[in-house]
Every structure is written in structure tokens, then in C-alpha cells.
Structure 1
Amino acid sequence: MVPTTAKQLCSKQRGSHWEHLVELTDDILWRSLLGILLLGVLASAVFLTFPELDITISKLFFDGTEFPLANDPLLGLLRRVTTMASGTLLIACIALLASKRLRDSVRVSRRDALLPIMTYTIGVGFVVHQLMKEQFGRARPHQIVEFGGEAPFTPAWTLSEACLSNCSFTSGEAAGAMALISGVVLCPASIRRIAMPAVFGLAVTLGMNRVLFGGHFLSDVILSMLIISAIMIGLRIAMNTLAPSTKKNLLSCEDGSRRQS
């Protein structure tokens, strides 16, 4: 028999965590991480073997003088809305971390609230903005000779001095948009399956926005999204590994409930 107080505790734990464990098991996470890493290797091989693919795609949106869609007000609005969404998500996560009562009221775990913060800090802020964009030195499409600029074209994953700061490889905004997926675990379980493809679609749309604007090459966008996805899943695996006690407690609750029934 499970005492009443224990049953209440188990019920509370299941309400706040069990849905996430069902959807984000270690097996699913590891398989997802492996799949994303393989996609990253494949995408990198394609863009390194056919570097002209980046220029060919960008030419589709160049009218001979400029990238006209860079001035489209609707596309500009989408860009701003996505930036605001990232900021709103981070503020919400900070509030959830600061208040246990708030976390309990919306049935969110501390790890769920911490994941977006870690994804933006490590993935978007450090890996993409500090390591990738500042070290590879790839000029943006509108800066290269083929599109009226003065800088040379540099293939993906190639070190260059064509750009000195805030360079093209990889896309910071595509990374930030992809990182929004880390906030899906904060949604109620009933809408999570809808929220995931919706946020992914938003990330892809914003990434293509940057290509339309002449701000990034296609490889910048695709590889940035894959890098953030790998970091996001890797962080979740690390969190599950470092703090497995919640899962063990929940499994004990399930065993206790079955014995009682």
C-alpha cells in the first residue's frame, strides 16, 4: 500500500514531469541526436562538394542590382516577431526558475525551464555567435563580388578573412529561431504535438528569410539549424544524466500504484 501522502506526492510529480518523460526518453533523444549529426555531415559534404550551390540559390533572389525582398515589410515584420518570441521565451523561463509555485501551477519542471536558457546561452550565444560567426570570416551574399560587393566568396566550413566581424557562417537568426523549439516542452501536453511542427516551420521560414534578404547563404541557415538542434538535444541528455532522480521517483510511483491496484 502507498500512503495517502505518498500518493499525493506521486500524483504531483506525474502531473509536472511524466508527460515529458514519455515523449523525451533517453532512447528517443539519442536516436534524434545521431540522426541530426548524420544530417549535419551529409549537408556539410554536399556544400563542400558543390560550393557553387550557395551562389546558385542566392541568385534566385537577386535582381542584378539588389535583393529586393530585403525591403519587404511583411518579411521584416516576421523577423522582428521571431526576435520578440525568443526574448519572451527567455523571460518566461527565468520567471519559472525563480518561482517554484509558478512551476507547479503550470506543471513545468526546473529542467524544462532551464533548457531554453542553456540552448540560447551555449548554442546561440557562444557556439554560433562567438565561435562560428567570429572565427570563420565568411562574407555575406550581399557583400561578395557576385552580388555587387567587393569580398570573395568562401565555401562553408572554410576559414577566411573576407569578413572581420558578425560574419555569415552560420546564421545567428536561424539559430535563434530553431532554439525556440526548446520551449515546446513548456507547452501543455495536449498542444505539444502541434506546437513542435509549428515552431519548426517558423524556424525554417525565418531561415529562408535570411537567404531572401541576401543576408545568408543556404548553407549558413541549414547548418545553423542542425548545430542548434544537436546542442539542444545534447543538453537535454546531459540534464537527464546529471539529474536522474526525478525519473526514478516517478517510476517508483508507477510501481507503487500498480501494486496497490
Structure 2
Amino acid sequence: MHEYASASKRALPYSQTLFYFVALFVIWWALLLIFNRAPAIDIAVARYFFSNGICHKAKEIGDTCGVFAYDRNLLFVSLRSITLILPYVAVAVLIAIPLVSWRRLGSRWRTREAEQSIVALTSLALGCGLIVNLFLKEFSGRPRPRDTDLFGGALDFVQAGSFAGKCLQNCSFVSGEASSGGWLLCLVFLLSPRWRLPLGIPLAIISVAMPAMRVMTGAHYLSDAVLGWLLSLVIFAGVLAAFDAFSPAPRRK
């Protein structure tokens, strides 16, 4: 999306980064409206991955029993363990870049790479950290698919964007791991051209796989995954536009 070209001219002007932010922001709210007005989409996708089973415990007639088979799949469990580590690895690298730059260059530490690292870390803190994990997941109240009565749980289903659910904490809206996956994709745009393809392709695959696995295992509805993933792109574009507007152009090495 963005790469700083020189101290006097940016690769993407402020008006262009602002356009990306506004466009992604509008798309996010449009998708939320669609999922909110058409909750059958979430239910249908979750039901596709749900396997009905025999109720082994006493339940009322009409109650649903079963499992999300992929939730117990060893391959999925292993892949999730790997993908959970990747954002932390990326954060460590991004923190190291400006620190190394400061140690080497002193007051001239704000190189292109250092500025890009700050943009990425700021977007992660605001998006995945503040908005997703500290606000939405704690206060949205939306139960996860496997916790709703439609799929063997005890709580009522609520549509995306509703804060009327009975989940008390770490709720389904939106997916934190999907948000992390979306953030990882944003890092592709910060890579130098020679690394963008060899590193960008696996990052893009991982970025999509993270939310997909959460839907397939019954941990999140499709809307939670899509909106969580896209939210990171929205925040990243917004932070990028803000840095373009208020920060001085970084120096070359």
C-alpha cells in the first residue's frame, strides 16, 4: 500500500492514503450492515462445519447436540499454534528496527524502515489491542458458535453488531486471531520490492488461513472473522494516513 520514496516525495501522497482509509472504512460498515440484516449467512456457514450428534446428556426435546469436527483436528490445532506465534515474531522484529536505527544513527534514526515499523506497531496496538481485544471482545456480548444453542451450546444466537448477547468476556465479535491475520497482511506492503513476492505470498496465505480456521472450528462466525480481518486493514490505512499528514518525511539511510 505504501512505501516511502524519498525525504522530499512520498510514494503515496496523503490524499491517496486517506482515500484507502475512507474506502476500507465504508466497506467495513457496509459488511457489518449486511451481516446484521442477514444473520442467516452466519448460521448457514457455521452449520456447514457443524456435525450433528447424539445427545449423551439429558436435554430438552429439540435441543441440538454435535461438534465442530475441525475443532478436534490435530492438524488444525498444530497450525493454530504456529500462526499464534507469528504476530509476536513480527512485533519483535518491528521493535528491533527503530532501536537498531537509533543506536546506529542517533538523532537521524527515523529512516524509512524505522518509520514503517512505527506505523505497523501503532496500528497493531490500536486495532488488535485496543479496539478488538479490550473493547469489542469484552463488551460485544456475542456468544461463539459452539456456545450458542444452535450448535450445542446454552446461549442464544445474536447477529453481528448486536451487543445484546449473554457472553460475559472474550466474546465472538470480532475475531482477535482474524484481526492479527489482517495485520500480518498489512506488513506485506511495507516489504521492499525484492522481498514482497517471496515473503508476501506465504504471509497472505497465513493471513487468510487464520480467520478461516476460526470459522471452521466453531470459534467464530463468518462475520466475526471477516470484520476482524478487515478491521486491521482499516486501522492500518488510518494510521498510515495520519502519519502521512502529521509526521515529517523519514530520511533515507
TM-score clears 0.5? yes
Q: Does the C-alpha gap of structure 1 residues 206 and 102 become closer, same or farther in structure 2, counting only changes over 3 Å?
A: farther
Identify the residue that residue 66 of structure 1 maps to in structure 2: 67
Identify the residue that residue 168 of structure 1 maps to in structure 2: 172
Aligned-residue RMSD, C-alpha: 2.6
SS, match of residue 164 in structure 2? coil
Distance of 2:11 and 2:234 partners within structure 1 = 17
- Identity rate of aligned residues, in percent? 25
Distance of 1:114 and 1:171 partners within structure 2 = 24
Q: Does the C-alpha gap of structure 1 residues 186 and 32 become closer, same or farther in structure 2, counting only changes over 3 Å?
A: closer
| TM-score scaled by length of structure 1 | 0.80
Whether contact under 8 Å (1:58, 1:214) holds in the other structure is yes
Alignment of 1:143-158 (within 5 A): 143-158=147-162
- Which amino acid in the other structure matches residue 205 of structure 2? G
- Structure 1 position 119, deviation (Å): 1.9
Larger Rg: 1
For 1:90-131, what per-residue CA distance to the aligned partner results, in whole angstroms no more than 9, with x for missing partners?
Answer: 011111121117888xx7532111122112211101100111
Alignment gaps of 5+ in structure 1: 1-15, 251-261
- Structure 1 position 19, deviation (Å): 7.7
Aligned length: 232
Q: Does the C-alpha gap of structure 1 residues 225 and 239 become closer, same or farther in structure 2, counting only changes over 3 Å?
A: same
Match of residue 30, structure 1, among 18, 22, 39: 18
SS, match of residue 210 in structure 1? helix
- Structure 1 position 23, deviation (Å): 4.9
Distance of 1:87 and 1:34 partners within structure 2 = 29
Identify the residue that residue 6 of structure 1 maps to in structure 2: none
Distance of 2:16 and 2:67 partners within structure 1 = 45
Identify the residue that residue 92 of structure 1 maps to in structure 2: 93
- Which amino acid in the other structure matches residue 219 of structure 2? G
Q: Does the C-alpha gap of structure 1 residues 22 and 244 become closer, same or farther in structure 2, counting only changes over 3 Å?
A: closer
Distance of 1:120 and 1:245 partners within structure 2 = 21
Identify the residue that residue 236 of structure 1 maps to in structure 2: 240
Whether contact under 8 Å (1:103, 1:109) holds in the other structure is no
| TM-score scaled by length of structure 2 | 0.82
For 1:178-229, what per-residue CA distance to the aligned partner results, in whole angstroms no more than 9, with x for missing partners?
Answer: 1113333553322325644542332221101000000000000111112111
Q: Does the C-alpha gap of structure 1 residues 223 and 168 become closer, same or farther in structure 2, counting only changes over 3 Å?
A: same
Bigger Cα displacement from structure 2, 166-175 vs 232-241: 232-241
- Structure 1 position 174, deviation (Å): 0.3
